[in-house]
């Protein structure tokens, strides 16, 4: 998972117009109206998503007061069995990731080339993990219905996509609120290295590589590991609430501080959507849209800096 929203755009409150005098912006040909339009439209898009998220929460609260189901379950029985070997592989993989996160040495000076290699490595690792875990599930699930109950289904695909978009919209408001609360913990040093790479390198080939890693590979891999395998296994043993909460906590911890705090509501919403709708497609879409918003925030910030000559 990529870091939550663009930390660098929020971390400083002082903006110094030093690269290009404002008077230069008024010169013919210096800045086009189309460029301003792009920046302004992105701001309106983010505002619209926040308003939609607030509206969705108001609707959920209303449904709760009226004792209506917040999310109608896809199946009468929501139990799903994950092959023990798949669970063992996932637990070992996550244990290793947690050890690496909490035993990592203090960050050295940022190296764009090293980070780019890490991005490429994450793509290779993600593909291996998906084929390994997915292959185990397909091989060891005795019946096709077991795979369907784990979320691998193509029925009502439009409805699955809709729930994926809804999950993304609902998650934005609480994530943004926690992001603002944890703003004092954020700095350029805590910025996710993938986002920092984009900030330093701009929109060359690196942008395409990071986008593929964050918007395609990461959601496919992480939802398979966390929701399909881990959450389903924990839910089967300890119940839905414990399974969703424990999976969300582990998901957040794997991403390290301070991102873990703001990612927790996203993880909980992903767990709820997956539990009730049993849709791997839906949670991958929610996750992918969230990561895409992160990357677009970096892109638009860089675009605005180049446009206005702003130094943070």
Question: pLDDT tens-digit profile of 254-295?
Answer: 988 888 898 999 999 999 999 999 999 999 999 999 999 988
Q: How far apart are CA 194 and CA 298, in angstroms?
A: 10
pTM: 0.86
C-alpha distances in angstroms, 120 versus 116, 123, 138, 254, 290? Answer: 6, 5, 27, 19, 21
pLDDT above 80 for 31: no
Question: pLDDT tens-digit profile of 205-245?
Answer: 788 898 999 999 999 999 999 999 999 999 999 999 999 99
User: Of the ranges 50-64, 72-86, 129-143, which one carries the lowest mean pLDDT score?
Assistant: 72-86
Per the model's pLDDT, the better-predicted residue between 229 and 22 turns out to be 229
| Selection from 231, 243, 224, 194 nearest residue 284 by Cα | 224
| Selection from 56, 266, 2 nearest residue 166 by Cα | 56
Q: How far apart are CA 121 and CA 182, in angstroms?
A: 30
pLDDT band at 202 (very low <50, low <70, confident <90, very high): low
Tokens for 223?
């939802």
User: Of the ranges 9-23, 76-90, 176-190, which one carries the lowest mean pLDDT score?
Assistant: 9-23
Q: Which of 166-170, 186-190, 253-257 has the largest mean confidence?
A: 166-170
């Amino acid at each position: 998972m990529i870091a939550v929203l663009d930390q660098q755009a929020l971390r400083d409150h002082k903006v110094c117009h030093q690269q290009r005098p404002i008077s230069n912006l008024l010169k013919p040909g210096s800045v086009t109206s189309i460029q301003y339009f792009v920046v302004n439209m992105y701001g309106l898009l983010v505002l619209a998503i926040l308003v939609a998220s607030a509206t969705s929460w108001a609707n959920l609260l209303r449904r709760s007061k009226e004792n209506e189901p917040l999310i109608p379950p896809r199946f009468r029985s929501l139990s799903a069995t994950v092959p023990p070997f798949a669970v063992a592989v996932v637990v070992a993989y996550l244990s290793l990731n947690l050890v690496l996160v909490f035993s990592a040495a203090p960050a050295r000076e940022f190296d764009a080339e090293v980070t780019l290699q890490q991005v490429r490595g994450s793509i290779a690792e993600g593909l291996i993990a998906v084929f390994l875990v997915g292959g185990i599930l397909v091989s060891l699930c005795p019946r096709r219905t077991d795979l369907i109950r784990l979320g691998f289904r193509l029925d009502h695909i439009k409805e699955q996509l809709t729930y994926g978009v809804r999950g993304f919209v609902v998650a934005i408001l609480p994530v943004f609120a926690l992001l603002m609360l944890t703003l004092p913990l954020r700095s350029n040093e805590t910025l996710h290295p993938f986002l920092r790479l984009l900030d330093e390198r701009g929109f060359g080939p690196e942008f395409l590589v990071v986008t593929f890693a964050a918007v395609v590979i990461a959601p496919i891999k992480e939802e398979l590991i966390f929701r399909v395998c881990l959450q389903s296994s924990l839910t089967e043993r300890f119940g839905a609430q414990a399974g969703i909460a424990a999976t969300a906590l582990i998901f957040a911890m794997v991403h390290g501080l301070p991102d873990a705090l703001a990612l927790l509501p996203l993880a909980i919403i992903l767990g709820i959507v997956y539990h009730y709708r049993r849709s791997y497609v839906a949670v991958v879409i929610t996750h992918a849209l969230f990561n895409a918003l992160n990357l677009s925030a970096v892109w638009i910030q860089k675009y605005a800096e180049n446009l206005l000559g702003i130094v943070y």
